Chains A and B, each alone.
Chain A
Amino acid sequence: MTSIEGVAISKSFGGVRALNHTSFAADAGEVHALVGENGAGKSTMIKILSGILRPDSGTIRVQGRETTLDSPQVALRLGIGTIFQELTLMPYMTVAENLLIGREPRSGGLISHSGLDMKAHELLDEAGISGIEPLELVANLSLSQRQIVEIIKVVSRRPRILFMDEPTSALAEQEVAWLFGLVRKLREQGTCIVFTSHRWNEIKDIADRITIFRNGENVGTYTAADLSEQEAVERMTGRKLEMLYPEPITLEDPAPILHVEGLSAPALHGISLTVHQGEVLGVGGLAGQGQRELFLTLFGVRHARSGTIQIGGKAVRINNPRDAIRHGLALIPEDRKTEGLLLPLPVRQNLTLPILGRLARSGFIRRQQETDLVQAMIQELAVRTPTSDQPVGALSGGNQQKVLIGRWLLTRSRVLLLYDITRGVDVATKHDIYELIRRLCQEGHAILFYSTDTEEMAHLCHRVLVMREGKIIDELHGPNIAPEAIVAASLHVAAEVTIDASTQVSSSEVSSS
């Protein structure tokens, strides 16, 4: 029986089509995987079916009945629960208050704090988790602990339809097994479960059916057993696997450009690494293991407690982003909308912000020189914009990302720190970015690369370092790094919380390569 269905859903964000008369349906008592590249429309569909976004057109049916999901409240009442990629926890409230928000135990009409504490303990016990203190502020939890709290919060509401948008990005192997145990129990009880993931082996492990999205359209629904990874990737990207990624460049006798020795900071412990000219060095591991802190510390946003950084053989001190830029580093952050671009400002201003000093004479900007540089970069990256004065917020996601990359290319940096830069970018632009990375390698730049898409990392990087709890625990290299190897190296570590043995799924049910 179809639990939830979106029929001919269309959704645009300021001229960019995220969903194009796309349909999607999932049944009761099944685990349904929704896969596709970043920017394919999966999250948008889930947000619409959870009542967070309203579709521009199309119908939604819940348990066969047509409904409009006006708000998350309505969705919750209809039994729809969602674990979003961006967690919905209140940082300054306790775990207990977060777990039970909206359904706090009361005595005499008022919320009972002892009741909150007891019920929270109950929920955690029921889920088989210990090591998370109900009275702890969520702000003090690690990312994987937060993910677990969010999962328990949503699952304990006993939804009939459960959406999970990349629920395992920060979870270790045991924790993933725990989650899948929960999911299997829910499936037995008739819950309809829809989830997205980038990890193929997880999908194969737990999903009954798989729906593939590409460029905002539903490419097809398949039985999980019948679909091979090769086929899936081809359908997700529209081209053959071999044609997706350019051949990595290897320079003759490359000199080391970035050399880090013993770098320590809060959440980083003695990181040492070297990136050579023309090399793409990947930084992998589960989400929230210090990769972000590494990038931020190298760029001067976080203060290093000890350790040295050398660029081009010269030791440098980096106390803030200005220093970093001066020494030839560039950082392209994860969320271009909140950390990178200034959306209401014109493309021109976004492109030249870090190099204003170079463009100005006694504080006055030399317009002509700026225009020349800006036009050249727009052409080089094929940015689709009517003029350079167009507010960057009006451009499509892919073009916005190009502007951001263009900004850093203009700084003529030797070392590029790329943090998840293909997130939310359409397929065509992604391939442009891969070509660009290849060209940058050829020109002798050094690149430090982080991505949540292990497939991407495996194909683009010459070497991959795997991080865990702020340390480098493994290094993978060789002509062909397999994505499963990266995942395996990340997963085989201790869980952050204690999972009750009785709730754990036996290892024979967990397939890991």
Chain B
Amino acid sequence: MRVAVIRFPGSNCDLDTVHVLRDVLGVKTDLVWHRHFNGSDYDGVVLPGGFSYGDYLRAGAIAAHSPAMREVSDMASGGKPVLGICNGFQILIEAGLLPGALLTNDCLTFVCKWITVRVETDRTAFTSLCKEGSILHMPIAHFQGRYVNDQDQIKEMLSDDQIVFKYVDDEGKPTPESNPNGSVSNIAGVCNLEGNVVGLMPHPERSSESVLSPMGCSDGAAVFRSLMECLRVRGDIHAGYKRS
């Protein structure tokens, strides 16, 4: 199994993401410039955080038209796991692979701090090893992370199990105080209908090693371990097809 991390002009969490996948978890991982990305070479892909094209027009709006995103879209429709972290989440939304919009934080400032999220569903490619309702500590660092969608869409997403992470307090409750950016329903991450495309504003790659966490945790690794599990299962299925 082989995973790609796509580097857009302005990505700056790409090397952290490659480090976690390659060095911490032992996944074969390539860092690929967005103009050179060929989705058929890979079993999964991560769009890292940072910026892209200066975040002009809207964060992710121009990168969504990068040639790489046609490949990512094909991977998504082929059932391959696709993860967008922070700016990567913004790109997936602008490319129409995930529902909703990400607007400027309601506090009108860049927010950089450790937050707590609750896993709302374990059916996705990136949460399959998390228990529903479990709590993860991860840092956020963004200016445009306020998840917005209209109430009817949110209801539909709830019934379709598309809300993946919510900002919560220490007791696991989604309170206004635990919501760092004013996201609707405290939403920190969502997925597509099939659950193979996930986007989130928090940074799992910055919280995958206990040495990097003020509370000594490595919660973010669960996101990448779930990816590995998804790839393992998909690999088994494909091997089975080949045998029969």
User: Are these two chains actual partners, yes or no?
Assistant: no
**Which residues of A line the B interface, CB within 8 A?**
none
**Which residues of B line the A interface, CB within 8 A?**
none
